């Protein structure tokens, strides 16, 4: 179901695959964060930004859910930045 009034022309199945791939990589990064790896905190921040972009593009399909996930991404990015700056992510 492409949306004619938006710049991108991806159907809902394509967005589903994008979310699955980003989610799988985020899960692997989360294991690294729990193991207190600094690279995982950096990768988590990058994934949070990518997830925010993907959910912003998904706003026309599910606006409430996308807004909730965007707020969650902001909280995760903030927490990972705090973890990196305090030195607990080493």
Model confidence over 34-87: pLDDT tens digits?
998 889 999 999 999 988 998 898 888 889 999 999 999 999 999 999 998 887
Is the pLDDT reported for residue 89 higher than 60? no
Is the pLDDT reported for residue 15 higher than 80? no
Within 1-90, where are the H helices? 12-34, 38-57, 63-86
Query: What confidence tier does 4 reach under pLDDT thresholds 50, 70, 90?
Result: low
Helix (H, G, I), strand (E, B) or coil at 89: coil
* 11 contacts 2 by C-beta, under 8 angstroms: yes
* 40 contacts 84 by C-beta, under 8 angstroms: no
pTM of the model: 0.72
* 74 contacts 42 by C-beta, under 8 angstroms: no
What values do phi and psi take at 60, rounded to 5? -65, -25
């Amino acid at each position: 179901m492409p949306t004619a009034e938006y710049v991108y022309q991806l159907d809902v199945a394509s967005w589903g695959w994008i979310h699955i791939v980003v989610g799988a990589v985020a899960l692997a990064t989360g294991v690294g964060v729990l193991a207190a790896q600094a690279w995982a905190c950096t990768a988590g921040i990058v994934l949070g930004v990518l997830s925010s972009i993907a959910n912003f593009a998904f706003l026309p399909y599910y606006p409430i859910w996308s807004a909730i996930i965007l707020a969650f991404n902001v909280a995760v990015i903030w927490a990972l930045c705090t973890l990196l700056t305090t030195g607990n992510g080493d």
